[in-house]
Amino acid sequence: MTDYHCHLLPCIDDGPSSLAESIEMARLLSRAGYHTIYCTPHLIKGLYEADNNTVKKGVADLQEALNREGIGLKLLCGREYFLDNNFIDFMNDLMPLEGTPYLLIEIPPHTYTGMVQDTLTAIIRHNLIPLIAHPERCELFRERQITDQPRKVSRLKNLLHRSTALHQPAITQESNDNKLLNWLIENRCAFQSNLPSFKGSYGEQAQSTANYLESLGIYTHAGTDAHTPESLEKLFGFNPQ
Ligand SMILES: [Fe+2]
């Protein structure tokens, strides 16, 4: 299994605060059956600002440490970009998930649809594919906004298929109430679910939205979004050693 969203690097964001903690997380991920982990530290101006070279060195150093410990995980580079007004500052040096065109993007809980569309359009013009991190946690995709008209679900499924298979816009205004979701599908964005969302770790709203988006077949990637060993123990149901 591959974890497409994980805060595994030590001392770079709000993830593990020591190498020992990172190694503990790596052991848990390996034990759960993962073999590849994308290390995706936050990039938020004014809060977590490590540059891309720091991320690359962090991944190389942690990979060495895991090799020494005999933990069979392959680490790859990534970032979790925060889509706010400062994102534009990073536009000329974007780091997609290593070896892929996917750029992991967190849409803030409360933001404006127009700003999201403008920024994602700029990303797409860089020949990258926005990978929307945990949309189930974003206010803009709340379940009630997209479940008010359940009769339209099957139509959305068809439209999703068409938009990816035929590479042409296929969403109509009547297809779904959530215009931003339609726009993202139409522009061939990808979607990453947080596995803890399905267990209710972020509350009932995120859980029900995750289940609904899953039922639509929206998700293309999954991640733990783990920040600590404890969060992984909870997710996997492991007892602390
Ligand atoms: Fe994250």
Distance in Å, CA 66 to ligand 1 centroid: 21
Considering the domain boundaries, does residue 38 fall inside one? yes
For residue 175, the enclosing domain spans 2-236
Output the CA–CA distances (angstroms, integers) from residue 149 to 49, 51, 115, 126, 135, in the order listed. 42, 44, 26, 35, 19
Asked whether residue 167 carries a pLDDT value surpassing 60, the answer given is no
- Predicted model pTM: 0.86
Distance in Å, CA 168 to ligand 1 centroid: 31
Q: How many domains does the chain have?
A: 1
User: To which H or E segment does residue 116 belong?
Assistant: helix 113-125
* The pLDDT value given to residue 238: 83
Asked whether residue 43 carries a pLDDT value surpassing 70, the answer given is yes
Distance in Å, CA 218 to ligand 1 centroid: 19
Distance in Å, CA 213 to ligand 1 centroid: 19
Cβ 89 vs Cβ 43: under 8 Å: no
Domain with residue 152: its CATH number is 3.20.20.140
Phi-psi region of 134 (alpha: psi -120 to 50; beta: other; left: phi over 0): left
Considering the domain boundaries, does residue 113 fall inside one? yes
Looking at 57-61, 130-134, 155-159, which range is the least confident one? Answer: 155-159
Considering the domain boundaries, does residue 224 fall inside one? yes
Considering the domain boundaries, does residue 241 fall inside one? no
User: To which H or E segment does residue 74 belong?
Assistant: strand 74-77
* The pLDDT value given to residue 141: 81
Query: What is the average pLDDT value for the chain, to the nearest integer?
Result: 87
